[in-house]
Structure 1
Amino acid sequence: MSRIDDVTAWEVLDSRGNPTVRVAVESGGERGVFTVPAGASTGTHEAVERRDGGDRYRGRGVTDAVAAVTDEIAPLVEGRDVFDQRGLDAAIEELDGTRSLSRLGANAVLGVSGAALRTASACAGQPLYRYLATEYGVDGTDEEGRLPVPMINVISGGLHARGGIEIQDFLVIPHGRDSIRGCLEVAWDVRQAVRDWLLDEGHRPLVADEGGFAPPLDGIDEAFELLVDAIETAGHVPGEECSLAVDVAATHFYDSATERYEIESLGRSFTPEAFGDLVVRWTEAFPLVSVEDPLAEDDWTGWRRLRGRIGDGVQVLGDDLLVTDVDRLDRAVDAGAANAVLVKPNQAGTVTRAVDVVHRALDRDVAPVVSARSGETCDATIADLAVGLGAGQIKIGSLARSERLAKYNRLLEIERFGDPEPPSVSAAAFGPE
């Protein structure tokens, strides 16, 4: 046993310049640090972070969450076995007393949970990905884990860009490559081709929260067409060497009062059935292999209908629908509503909850996609998490901004100095094997 000796927390700033929580856990002379990210397009059902309110940072301060760590969580966990992640997380959940972790704050809870995980790997004398693979890996993944296929943001809209088209993210998925290095080279080629187009058209290559370009576009189809052209310009074959993915984030332009999707860029209002038709048309017209949050977060009927129409050739990926929650994942699988789940540790609130979602997804033939948030930090834990758990896919953001590159660079480091299985497309997802 290695007992937790000390827990400290303090307020730092994330990639949007907003306050967030950083926690350090010490045990036996080792120290693990974890910094909590934050989302902009948050789902109604996800764990609830704690913010101060008031005038300071326009209410977004986290001194109350820091105090929750210092005053309540630290006395509970100090003296506990740092290797007992499940027991530690369960004790903090019980202390909080809510499913959403809203009393202490999910940012306070995850800060301690994540820092304890990093301390445990240090005490074990193992890189984090290897510790995760050894302790929490699944059958078919060896003790070195498996490198994920990256899903890389190139064009942004919606709440991540605050202007232009409503669809939140347009991404590329390099597949058929046997290394992270090779995947990133393909994605870099495509992103650079888009940047060249922007400059040729006289646009400034400004980027949104996750590093994707946010150009003025006439409509949604133009974004898809721009990416297809960029893949070809970069010398790759659309649908064979590089495919497309999209994060629709449909909840954020869904009007629950009228039960319609309001798409100002198209000058139209859609019923759920009609918007589903539009999504299906995208999958037929473009090399689109993954569609995230294509409908509102509680439209279970619409999700089931759309999933049935799209079939297994396209990944129907639940984020706001599933919020990294085992019960909602089970419901979606039973209903035939999704065949992939986004895994965000801060959406779940603890490391244990996130690990359990990955395990349940793999058990039920659902593709887990470990994901960053739009408000990120240079903490690279999710890179190790994706490798160690053998998740198969990761969604970090674009090839820009240090908070994104820290995670890509960590994957490159693991690839160079470790011995994980190479990236391969999961059977439930997309593209050629």
Structure 2
Amino acid sequence: MEPGGRRERRWRQLQGPRQEAAEYYRDHRVPQRMEEALNALFPLRPADLYGELANYFSKFSKAPVICKLVGRKVIDGVGQPTLEVEIYCTVKNYEKRICSAVMSFHSQIPENALPETNEADEKERNDSVNTAVEWVSDSLNTMLRDLKPTDQCKVDEMLGEYFTKQAEFKKEIEKQEEAAAEVTLALTSCTPSATALPGGKKAAKPGRKVSAAERMIPPAEPVESVLCGSLAIGATSLAIAKAGATISRIPLYLHIALLKHGQDLPKEMTLPLPMVTLLNCEKIPPAKLKLMKEVMLIPPVQLSLKQGIERVLDIQKEMTRLLESPGKVQSSPQLADSKKGKAHNTGKKAPVKGKYEILTGMFKSPDEMVDMYVELINKFPFIIALIDPLRKEDRQQWNNICCALGSKCYLIAEDAATCISKLKSDQKINIPTCSGVVLKYINQTKVSDLIELTGLVDGQRHITILGSPDGESSDDSLVDLAVGLGARFIKLGGLSRGERVTKYNRLLAIEEELAKNRTLREANLAFIAFDEESQPEKQLSDVLPPPTQDSLPPQLSQLPENSTLT
């Protein structure tokens, strides 16, 4: 017991000094001084330090991979069904929703389509969206699992192979149906005389009874069919690109630029100039003008994008005031929110007896159309672009108008460049001679397709315009695509409606970011002088006229804004 008693007595002897020391440290706030000293040596607080350590060690963790794709049926800007694709990735062993993308459905409706055709188009849209949802949630979900979202080329390659198989499967079914229909027709045919008369009549009507003078414009090319469910391909490709940008912690436009330039980021980037719709000529009663569908404004390159948008808004407000009827307020033509897809059903540039109808009841031959455009540009030199001034089938006149006006304005083909995948794959496709093309991200288009095709167009000294598709959504990815791809213009419509204004706001935000990083390069315009001997039937890849003008004509630089007609 003695040893234990000594320890207890010694403990009691030490309690006094310990208590005094504790009171001394507390009174003199030594802990606070120690904390201040530590903060001076290590500026990061413990939580920040842990965060830095976590970020450091996360570099050695497994890269995020795709774990799930979800397809969903949503509503676009005009109340039509379309597709949304959500991407989930495994990040540090946890499933996490990364992003989503919305794809617009697009189909080419023939000119002057009947109401029955429009109803069939709506049914086709619903079927296509439902099929796309199944593709994404089932086949594509299984196929792309465990792939890295940053491997865009690999993903797009697999998406392209899947689409090709589905297209071949559809063709095989159609062949079987045609064979079955022929067998049924052969079995149901009764007497040869009964079938000979109708057959003879049908053969006689298509027989070309029109004179040679009336065949001034080639017939319309067949409408490109859209594979049911094809928008699953484009939506998934875009969603993967957005996921890759999110995982890499960079904006989508930088991610696209890296993909286009082989992971070499350009030192400077140019913003596309917006083509802002000012007037929708189809909305002006009594709609006698058949020549133009839209009048658009392009802000001057000397102004910042923000300044240009503000100027366009001022012009838009003044135009609205001038177009309002006295005594009542009407919705302005440029703010019309009708379905843009219906615009293709009008009589705009439709041939009647081989001629173009420019006003109700007033027709001009293709040669007269070229002369009229030349006179128009000479009288109004501030018009710097004409979009689809002629029908895409009228290639001889496209060649003539490019030779006449190529050095004074841009001659842009939009209708001829709708199907990007066909432009890329079909070497025999006929594109009229032009200054550039309007590309739209629709249906089975993949991000890699846009990158490849814009690279081809850039190499030919042509210009690329990214256009907003029919039935657009509030997804603003189109703006990032245009910036990353280096498009010269972007065609978004008027400064109205949420899904459009969202894109304009995104464009302004990118301008602010590039200006802050000092990577914003001023845009420039250079028209193309075409060789008079250039052939209209050459492919887009064969028409390589170098630009001969480095700046706008003097009269253009003096005007407050530039314009374009379509």
Regarding TM over 0.5, the answer is yes
What is the DSSP-based 3-state SS (H/G/I as helix, E as strand, rest coil) of the residue aligned with 1:352? helix
Alpha carbons 2:232, 2:443 under 8 Å: kept: no
Letter paired with 1:199: E
Q: Please say which structure displays the higher CA radius of gyration.
A: 2
Q: Which residue of 2 aligns with 1:274?
A: 368
Q: Which residue of 2 aligns with 1:60?
A: 125
Residue in structure 1 matching 2:526, options 424, 427, 433: 427
Alpha carbons 2:81, 2:125 under 8 Å: kept: yes
Distance (Å, rounded) in 2 between the aligned partners of 1:354 and 1:124: 21
Letter paired with 1:116: I
Letter paired with 1:94: E
Distance (Å, rounded) in 2 between the aligned partners of 1:161 and 1:86: 49
Residue in structure 2 matching 1:302, options 378, 387, 397: 397
Letter paired with 2:552: G
> Can you give the 5+ residue segments of structure 2 that lack an aligned partner in the other structure?
1-62, 112-118, 169-223, 529-550, 558-566
Find out whether 1:8 has 2:70 as its counterpart.
yes
Residue in structure 1 matching 2:442, options 346, 361, 365: 346
Find out whether 1:133 has 2:257 as its counterpart.
yes
Q: Which residue of 2 aligns with 1:259?
A: 354
Q: Which residue of 2 aligns with 1:184?
A: 309
Letter paired with 2:524: V
Alpha carbons 2:421, 2:445 under 8 Å: kept: no
Task: Give matches, 1:198-237, under 5 Å.
Answer: 198-199=323-324, 204-206=329-331, 211=335
Find out whether 1:292 has 2:387 as its counterpart.
yes
Distance (Å, rounded) in 1 between the aligned partners of 2:281 and 2:416: 20
Find out whether 1:85 has 2:152 as its counterpart.
yes
Residue in structure 2 matching 1:147, options 250, 271, 275: 271
Alpha carbons 2:299, 2:305 under 8 Å: kept: no
What is the DSSP-based 3-state SS (H/G/I as helix, E as strand, rest coil) of the residue aligned with 2:450? helix
How much has 1:132 moved relative to structure 2? Answer: 1.6
Question: Could you give the per-residue CA deviations for residues 316-365 of structure 1, whole angstroms, max 9, x where no partner exists?
Answer: 11111122648758989998711111121116611111222221111110
Q: Which residue of 2 aligns with 1:391?
A: 487
Distance (Å, rounded) in 2 between the aligned partners of 1:163 and 1:7: 47
Alpha carbons 1:292, 1:317 under 8 Å: kept: yes
Task: Give matches, 1:14-53, under 5 Å.
Answer: 14-27=76-89, 28=91, 29=96, 31-39=98-106
Distance (Å, rounded) in 2 between the aligned partners of 1:41 and 1:158: 19
How much has 1:33 moved relative to structure 2? Answer: 1.1
Distance (Å, rounded) in 2 between the aligned partners of 1:169 and 1:84: 40
Q: Which residue of 1 aligns with 2:203?
A: none
Flag the 1:428–1:347 CA change in 2: closer, same or farther, 3 A: farther
Distance (Å, rounded) in 2 between the aligned partners of 1:26 and 1:14: 23
Distance (Å, rounded) in 1 between the aligned partners of 2:352 and 2:301: 45
Distance (Å, rounded) in 2 between the aligned partners of 1:139 and 1:145: 15
How much has 1:104 moved relative to structure 2? Answer: 5.1
Letter paired with 1:60: R
Name the stretch that deviates more: 197-206 or 103-112: 197-206
Alpha carbons 2:258, 2:264 under 8 Å: kept: no
What is the DSSP-based 3-state SS (H/G/I as helix, E as strand, rest coil) of the residue aligned with 2:487? coil
Tell me how many residue pairs correspond in the alignment: 391
Flag the 1:334–1:260 CA change in 2: closer, same or farther, 3 A: closer
The structure in which a higher percent of residues are helix is 2
How much has 1:250 moved relative to structure 2? Answer: 11
TM-score when normalising by structure 1: 0.78
RMSD: 3.8
Name the stretch that deviates more: 8-17 or 136-145: 136-145
Question: Could you give the per-residue CA deviations for residues 175-194 of structure 1, whole angstroms, max 9, x where no partner exists?
Answer: 13342101101211111110
Residue in structure 1 matching 2:143, options 72, 76, 84: 76
Find out whether 1:401 has 2:497 as its counterpart.
yes
Find out whether 1:322 has 2:443 as its counterpart.
no
By relative contact order (CA 8 Å, sep 6+), the higher-ranking structure is 1
What is the DSSP-based 3-state SS (H/G/I as helix, E as strand, rest coil) of the residue aligned with 2:526? coil
Q: Which residue of 1 aligns with 2:459?
A: 363
Distance (Å, rounded) in 2 between the aligned partners of 1:188 and 1:173: 12
Question: Could you give the per-residue CA deviations for residues 360-394 of structure 1, whole angstroms, max 9, x where no partner exists?
Answer: 11111001111112321111011111112221221
Distance (Å, rounded) in 1 between the aligned partners of 2:227 and 2:284: 28
